Amino acid sequence: MSKPGNYEAVRKDIVKLLHQPEYDDGSAGPVLVRLAWHSAGTYDAETDTGGSNGAGMRYEREGGDPANAGLQHARVFLEPVKAAHPWITYADLWTLAGCVAVREMGGPEIRWLPGRTDYVDDSKLPPRGRLPDGSKAADHVRAVFYRMGFNDQEIVALCGAHNLGRCHSDRSGFDGPWVNNLTRFSNQYFRLLAGLEWKLVTLPNGVKQWVYEDEDGISERLMMLPTDIALRDDPVFCEWVDSYAEDKELFFEDFAKAFAKLMELGITRDARGRVTNADNVKGGYHS
Ligand code: DDH
């Protein structure tokens, strides 16, 4: 067991588990990023409910949300790390793992601070339906992310995470990856979104998604969700899609800031970075 507070030791163990030859595309990285995002992305600024504090996905009410299908794989990957460092909270472990995975897959370093609690305040548990629905349009995307306190630029930057991983027909109903090199963090997603011709198709399960067909009409395996295409077609979002397609450094910088902000939703800190939420102070681990 490592010494409580030794986050470097935790980081190292997360790095070690990323290589998973038997799983998906050989990496736990993408699903760990999605776990971090879904743990935090339930936040509602107005009522100060949801967010990564509490790690509510351990319980059926949040973990059983169909939007979270498949994330049990990410949680299982992290169990040995929790066992080796039992002092870390799940809420800290999940958010840290997302940040470490982005960095290890070639993305930016994301500023991460500890101190989340696993104490679950039932009144703060988010209702289902707070995470975005891929079949919808730009107004839905805005409603979801404005609720958390993000602006249009931050929304587009965050959605650049779709450079990683894939859709699984047995989880979301959508099928396929957004880019070819899906375990390498880059701005490829934006370049393909802006640069390729996408065609709307209906999958055998009735789900509609966009696919890329090359000049010979041969369908490639690349896909976009309706919400991804909404970024390309919206007059404000598209400016940022183009900027990030052209400038990888700008994307990395903006993604790192927005993802760090996402991980902090609902967490309040004093000037020294110590968490001041009442639940954290009374509920358990306090950094
Ligand atoms: Fe996403 N995402 N996401 N996403 N996402 C899926 C996979 C992954 C939406 C829907 C889906 C973000 C935003 C949105 C990742 C990260 C992020 C899948 C496929 C769907 C559907 C799930 C499956 O079948 O396994 C929608 C809608 C939005 C939206 O903004 C409107 C954001 C902001 C992030 C982020 O990390 C900041 C990652 C990574 C994956 C790949 C997971 C995997 O297992 O591979």
Which domains are assigned to the chain?
A: 7-131+259-283 (1.10.520.10), 138-253 (1.10.420.10)
Ligand 1 proximity of 14 Cβ (cutoff 6 Å): no
Task: Indicate the residue type of 138.
Answer: A
pLDDT digit string (tens) for 172-202?
A: 999 999 999 999 999 999 999 999 999 999 9
- What is the position in ligand 1's atom list of the atom closest to the CA of 31? 44
Give residue-wise pLDDT tens across range 68-94: 999 999 999 999 999 999 999 999 999
Q: Report whether pLDDT(286) > 70.
A: no
Instruction: Give pLDDT, residue 282.
Output: 65
CA of 34 to the centre of ligand 1 (A): 6
Pick the atom of ligand 1 nearest to 174's CA. Answer: 24
| Residue 127 structure tokens | 């209702």
Measure CA 79 to chain center.
19
pLDDT at res. 221: 82
**Which residue's alpha carbon is at the smallest distance from atom 1 of ligand 1?**
162
Position 219 scores a pLDDT of: 61
ipTM: 0.99
Bridge partners (DSSP) of residue 208 are 202
pLDDT grade for 287, boundaries at 50, 70 and 90: very low
Residue 42 Cα to ligand 1 midpoint, Å, equals 14
DSSP type of residue 20: -
- Nearest C-alpha neighbor of 210 from the set 193, 187, 195: 193
Span 88-116, pLDDT tens digits: 999 999 999 999 999 999 999 999 999 99
Give yes or no for residue 192 CB within 6 A of ligand 1: no
Contact at 8 Å (CB) between 193 and 211?
no
Q: Is residue 205 very low, low, confident or very high in pLDDT (cuts 50, 70, 90)?
A: very high
Whether residue 38 lies in the annotated active site = yes
Question: Average pLDDT over the chain, rounded to whole?
Answer: 94
Counting atoms of ligand 1 from 1, which one is nearest the CA of 73?
44
At 11-54, the pLDDT tens digits run 999 999 999 999 999 999 999 999 999 999 999 999 999 999 99
198 is catalytic: no
CB 18 within 8 A of CB 33: no
Find out whether the beta carbon of 34 lies less than 6 Å from any atom of ligand 1.
yes
CB of 5 closer than 6 A to ligand 1? no
Burial 237-276 (b: 16+ CB within 10 A, else e): bbebbbbbbeeeeebbebbbebbbbbbbbbbeeeeeeebe
pLDDT of residue 214 exceeding 80, the answer is no
38 Cα to the center of ligand 1, angstroms:
9
Q: DSSP for 193-246, please give it.
A: HHHS-EEEEE-TTS-EEEEEE-TTSPEEEEEE-HHHHHHHHSTTHHHHHHHHHH
Across 263-269, average pLDDT: 96
Going by alpha carbons, the residue nearest to atom 45 of ligand 1 is 165
